[in-house]
A = this chain, B = another copy of it.
Amino acid sequence: MDNIKVAILGIGTVGTGTYKIIKNQKDEFPYKTGSNIEVSKILVRDKSKKREGIDENLITDSWEDIINDDSISIVIEVMGGIEPAKTYITEALKKGKSVVTANKDLIASYGGELLDLAKENKCDILFEAAVAGGIPIIRPLKECLASNKVEEVMGIVNGTTNFILSKMTDEGMEFDEALKLAQKLGYAEADPTADVEGYDAGRKIAIMASIAFNSRVKFDDVYTEGISNISAKDIKYAKELDCEIKLLGVASNTDDGIEARVHPMLIPNDHPLSGVKDSFNAVFVKGDSVGDTMFYGKGAGELPTASAIVGDVIDVARNIHFGCCGRIGCTCYKNLPIKTIDDIYSKYFVRLQIVDKSGVLASVLSVLGKNDVSIYQLMQKKKRDNNFAEIVLVTDKVKEKNLRDSIKELEDMPVVHKVSKVIRVY
């Protein structure tokens, strides 16, 4: 029986979960992989820190201890951030050690080169945990759905913002109140920017789009817009339209290029994604043969994320046992153009205040008409503030540039008090 030794880089929440699962599953690994799997070293910054339940003899603060240990064949990277993770992973792959990582920042920006490096060295680099935590999505895209031309990948892939929006929807909270609650419960970090502004979701969409469309999409290619300006009022109007507001990552494979974006969106109540609440994640995949599929589960947390990591470790162990590491490497064999947000077509929810006088609504609509922005639905609200009437309209599917041009024009009109909100609609 082989003994496969692994090193864990970083022993925070996810590292600890990984350590626990590997310990708990000890007796199952021989049956599942043909080999024993054990943690032989754990890299930390501060060796002196007390760590409950972790074998102290495994702890080291020296990367050299790990990279020069030829008995270690798998390196699990759960430190996060670009450096030193990138250097460590690069060195590990060059030494022929396979890598399992949960590092979405790194994969979204340097996935291509790391996958190429793994191939050169006949190693695996797997990263199921980098997208949507415990939900199987990378392997389904690379394997189960490989017979499809994937047309769209869309998902709720950030639990923090989904928790905030759920609280705003179900309990009528304003954004600031919901964010504070999320921070109190540990769902949001002290600096919530990466979650709230959509950067975290953007990285996950970049990774999924690259795999789904077989063409590299980097984080910088993804348009991102966050949820900090969504108000309880917007959510109330969304409800009147039988919709929920969600922060969605959307990637589409169109005839003239790839669209990749993260922004709040109104989704109809009967869409499966609208029922995804709190810290759950879900990814919707549309393939030319399979049609609509959805993958749902916990997108973060100690054990769900570690579940995906150890699933990858089992896969690598099987590959080591069968001598077929590098069996599935980089799948980006196309070089498709990526569209800018200006060229994307969408439906839009627009909320604006206009002077409450006859003829004003007509002039607003004529500006939209002139810019080829046609109207799907319109509500003028009864309640009026300060002599202004509030208008809520939903456009047909129109070009983002045309919508932006008309909003700019509206904002310059003396009879338009304010365009309060523009949100895309599914």
Contacts and interface: CB of A to CB of B under 8 A. Distances in A.
A376 interface: no
A254 interface: no
Contact of A331 (B32, B143, B297): B32
Contacts of A145: 136, 307, 311
Interface stretch (A55-63, A259-267, A288-296): A288-296
Contacts of A147: 21, 25, 306-311, 313-314
A140 interface: yes
Given A139-B143, A324-B327, A290 B318 contact: no
Interface in A322-374: 322-324, 327-328, 331, 333
B294 A294 contact: yes
Interface of A: 17, 21, 25, 28, 31-32, 128, 134-136, 139-140, 143-148, 214, 272, 275, 287-298, 301, 303-304, 306-311, 313-315, 318-319, 322-324, 327-328, 331, 333
Nearest to A321: B327
12 contacts: A25-B147, A136-B145, A144-B308, A145-B307, A145-B311, A147-B308, A290-B303, A291-B297, A291-B298, A292-B297, A293-B296, A293-B297
Nearest to A214: B31
A-B pairs, 4 with minimum CB distance: A147-B310, A136-B144, A293-B297, A324-B324
A147 B76 CA distance: 15
Contacts of A31: 214, 331, 333
Nearest to A146: B314
Given A32-B146, A136-B144, A144-B128, A304 B290 contact: yes
